[in-house]
């Protein structure tokens, strides 16, 4: 059987493309270290989070003032509340200040989304998600869990009170 020269060239080009595509995908997932989840805040033992024995700010979650222009908020998410955040325990931070949220989960995957802002992250047991925001305007912002986490997922939420 004879293979035409043009056919050989196109076969070669097609193979090259396929190898190129696979290499691109492989590089994207492994080589470049593309992350599918936000573990920007490091790792943590979820069991210790539950027991309050992490030796970190998660043992007594809440707002921690770093200085006049920077606050850190430790939040523990668990079925079906944010601590702080839910119910009569809102997160209270000043307006026009850098606010870093460090959020982790004591049980399953949750979401942490502040309505009307671009704060939106998954909360994964074993990992700390870190998001920094600045609230220009005082007011109450809604906080919602946007990852299905169980029977009362739709009720899991809270609020951020931004004070002048």
Q: Can you give the binding site for ligand CUA, defined by CB under 6 A?
A: 80, 110, 145, 147-149, 153, 156
CB of 147 to ligand CUA, least distance (A): 5
Q: Three-state SS across 95-146? A: CCCEEEEEEEECCCCEEEEECCCCCEEEECCCECEEEEEECCCCEEEEEECC
What's the CA gap between 36 and 23, in Å, rounded? 19
Neighbours of 130 (CB within 10 A): 17
Nearer to ligand CUA, 46 or 71 (CB): 46
| Minimum CB distance to ligand CUA smaller for 76 or for 149 | 149
We find the least distance from the C-beta atom of residue 41 to ligand CUA, in angstroms, to be: 18
Residue closer to ligand CUA (CB basis): 141 or 157: 157
CB of 112 to ligand CUA, least distance (A): 9
């Amino acid at each position: 059987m004879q293979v035409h020269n043009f056919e050989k060239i196109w076969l070669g080009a097609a193979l090259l493309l396929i190898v190129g595509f696979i290499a691109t995908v492989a590089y994207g997932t492994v080589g470049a270290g593309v992350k599918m989840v936000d573990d920007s805040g490091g790792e943590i033992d979820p069991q210790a989070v539950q027991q309050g024995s992490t030796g970190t700010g998660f043992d007594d979650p809440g707002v921690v003032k770093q200085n006049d222009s920077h606050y850190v908020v430790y939040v523990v998410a668990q079925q079906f509340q944010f601590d702080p955040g839910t119910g009569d325990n809102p997160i209270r931070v000043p307006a026009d200040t850098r606010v870093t949220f460090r959020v982790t989960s004591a049980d399953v995957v949750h979401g942490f989304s502040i309505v009307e802002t671009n704060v939106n992250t998954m909360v994964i047991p074993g990992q700390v998600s870190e998001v920094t925001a600045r609230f220009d305007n005082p007011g109450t912002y809604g906080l919602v869990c946007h990852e299905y986490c169980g029977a009362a997922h739709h009720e899991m939420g809270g609020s951020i009170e931004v004070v002048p």
